[in-house]
Structure 1
Amino acid sequence: MEEERSDICSRIIQKVLYPFSRIYGFVVKTRIFFYKKGILRCVRLPVPVFSVGNITVGGTGKTPVVEHIARYLRAKGKRVAILSRGYAANIRQETNFPDKNICNDEYLLFKENIPDVPHLLNKSRVKGGREAIKRFQAECLVLDDGFQHLRLARDLNIVIVDALNPFGHEQIIPRGMLREPLEGLKRANMILLSHVDQCSRDKITVITNRLRKITGGVPVIETVHKPICLESAKDATKLDIHCLRGKRVFVFCAIGNPVSFRKSIEGLGAEIAGIRVFPDHHVYTLSELQGLNAEAQSMKPDAIVITQKDRVKIGNNLSIWDFPVWTLKIEICVVNGREIFENKINAILN
């Protein structure tokens, strides 16, 4: 009976949201059409631009991919900068550098992991790109969350598709999770299929075949988000990642894909005693952190496990915890199609 009521409510909500999705979809398609016909003009900068984005809302694993590409370009001896709009950040008007009061998880994450790569936050990615070239002599730019940002021309359009929910329930937001119709994938030069280790091989094959059909044969590169390190949040002491096996842990996170994070922890052999999920980019208050500690106390876990993204937002509020707080660091790993992936990037550089 309860399931039947839930199903009825879901159908009603879907019908209510349908016209809003149609309106949003029309606006998006019109904007894309205007750029395609040159009514709205894109700007080309004098250096290669590598765009990383997605076609759905939510966490596809974009941040580790941006970091991976930036590292790859640096290893090639290139001066690289990352351009972001700066979501969830208190950015001064059209500024490129956040002040000390800004709390942007991705900015803090890049600053910690790739401190030698400038990360510019600017509502205008064109202005941010020009500033990167002028101020840092950037030789190439990585455009973070750039697939729908059509004003800045790019040399390589990389789209990340999450294997756990590749097609956003087949509906445009707010009815579904698609930012634009699936046909928009035709603009991609390469698709990174993420979290392939968390799906069956048959499902991966079905997804890949459909993506190739939609895009006309664009390469689909398979990736996983691999746990690489476990650290003490208090002093960054490295821990053996296998020490999670058999441990009861309490988990909280404010990321786009908490399901994947949970599976990663369980995949390392930990038992999740409890989990609290906050919206992506959520900024924790002290009272919320104290509440999480109290919640953990009721479960008596061996430790609390969080993402690196959450750890940089907690900052110095580490004395409130009654349990060890461990940070699980994750990086992107190409498991199928590495040569194609690197050749695409190298072709632009050459």
Structure 2
Amino acid sequence: EPYMLARNLPGVVVLVDKNRVKAGTHAIRRFGCDTLVLDDGFQYLPLKGRLNLVLVDKTNPFGNGYLLPRGILREPVKHLRRASYVFLTKSNGQRDPELEDLIQRHNPGVDVIECAHRPQYLQRVGVEERRPLGHLQKRRIGAFSGIATPESFEHFLRELGAELVTTQRFLDHYRFTAEDLAETFNEARTAGAEFLVTTEKDAVRLDEKQSFPLPLYYLRMEIELIRGAKDFQEAVSRICFPETGSRAPMPLAK
């Protein structure tokens, strides 16, 4: 995942360290960084963030309401009160008044920004070959992933017209072995798959120089803001320009 971030964010320093204070100090002293963005920083108490951005999966906001390991939550829902902005991810575009009311009860007046994952294209792993999404239409494919919610990935493929003849689901952040891949490709080929598709997060954990028995692509996804674009621009301004809290209008990616 850090490699994927670095590849997609040229010019941005990406550091990995269990000690975030140490990593942040290194980023400032070695690279001259003036803004630090932490992944999963909401629970990292040794560093006090100026802004807390909380992402809530709209398809499964709080699971069964319990903390790990009984549930999926890392903190109680009431800790939403510490959020500066709340992002509702994986939205289908329809408002969810009940969810929004719950967020407002814990953090009255907080800005809620709604966004959706949008498939963009297929990128072949290890090869400079890009295919449009129409390449999936009426094609028999195999799908495999090692992410937290493989159902959403598979749903996108089916929505794009693919017939999934095999699906393999591994644990989140799973490191594939040669045996895993051999079994996955053999099963797909036996089932008549024309090619396989995985996620970009999984693709970066593969050896791009490796040859595969069938073509292998990853589904490139991007985030589209559905609601709250102005609030998002304000959030970016507050992070990058804390002295003024504003800047010239910034073009937003669609």
TM-score of the superposition, structure 2-length normalised?
Answer: 0.90
Asked if the contact 1:286/1:317 (under 8 Å) is kept, the reply is: no
- Give the Cα–Cα distance (whole angstroms) in 2 for the partners of residues 328 and 117 of structure 1: 23
* CA contact 2:125–2:208 (8 Å) conserved in 1: no
- Distance apart, 1:308 and its partner CA: 1.0
**Taking structure 1 as reference, are residues 175 and 185 closer, same or farther at Cα in structure 2, changes over 3 Å only?**
same
Match of 2:57 in 1: 162
The partner residue of 2:235 within 344, 347, 350 is: 344
**Distance in 1, Cα, partners of 2:235 & 2:206:** 38
CA contact (8 A) 2:126 2:209 kept: no
CA distance, structure 2, for counterparts of residue 180 and residue 150 of structure 1: 12
Q: CA, structure 1 residues 291+185, in 2 after alignment: closer, same or farther (shift >3 Å)?
A: same
Q: How far is 1:179 from its partner?
A: 1.0
- Counterpart of 1:289 (choices 181, 186, 201) is 181
Dislocated runs of 4+, deviation >2 Å: none
Deviation (angstroms), 1:317 = 5.7
Higher percent of residues as helix? 1
Give the corresponding residue for 1:136: 31
Pick from 326, 329, 346: which aligns with 2:217?
326
Q: Which runs of 5+ in 2 are unaligned?
A: 245-254
Where in structure 2 are the equivalents of 1:307-322 lying within 5 Å? 307-316=199-208, 318-319=210-211, 321-322=212-213
Could you tell me how far apart the structure 2 residues matched to 1:317 and 1:290 are?
15
The counterpart of 1:269, out of the listed 147, 158, 161, is 161
Alignment of 1:52-201 (within 5 A): 106-197=1-92, 201=94
How many Å apart are 1:121 and its aligned residue? 1.0
Residues 263 and 272 (structure 1 numbering): CA distance in 2 closer, same or farther, change over 3 Å?
Answer: same
| Two-structure CA RMSD over aligned residues (Å) | 1.5
The answer to whether residue 120 in structure 2 is matched with residue 225 in structure 1 is: no
Q: Cα offset for 1:236?
A: 3.0
Any idea what the Cα deviations from partners look like across 1:283-330, whole Å, max 9, x if unmatched? Answer: 1111111111111122111210111111111113631x3221111111
Question: Could you tell me whether the CA contact under 8 Å between 1:212 and 1:219 is conserved in 2?
Answer: no
The answer to whether the 8 Å contact 2:15/2:23 transfers is: yes
Deviation string 1:247-276 (CA, Å, 9 cap, x unpaired) is 121100011221111122122121211211
Give the number of aligned pairs. 241
Find the aligned partners of 1:237 and 1:297 in 2 and give their Cα distance.
21
Q: Which runs of 5+ in 1 are unaligned?
A: 1-105
SS of the residue 2:204 aligns to: helix
- AA matched with 2:69: P
What letter matches 1:265 in structure 2?
L
CA contact (8 A) 1:232 1:326 kept: yes
Whichever residue aligns with residue 143 of structure 1, its letter is L
Match of residue 236, structure 1, among 111, 128, 137: 128
Among 277, 300, 305, the residue aligned to 2:192:
300
Contact map agreement 1:193 1:222 (CA 8 A) in 2 = yes
How far apart in 2 are the matches of 1:318 and 1:299? 22
Matches within 5 A, 1:210-221: 210-221=102-113
| Structure 1 SS opposite 2:15 | strand
Q: Percent identity?
A: 34
The residue aligned with 1:60 is none
Determine the structure 2 residue equivalent to 1:245. 137
* SS of equivalent residue, structure 1 residue 153: coil
Per-residue Cα deviation, 1:98-151 (whole angstroms, up to 9, x for no partner): xxxxxxxx1221222123211111111111111001111002111111110011
Shift of 1:206: 2.1
One-letter amino acid of the counterpart of residue 183, structure 2: G
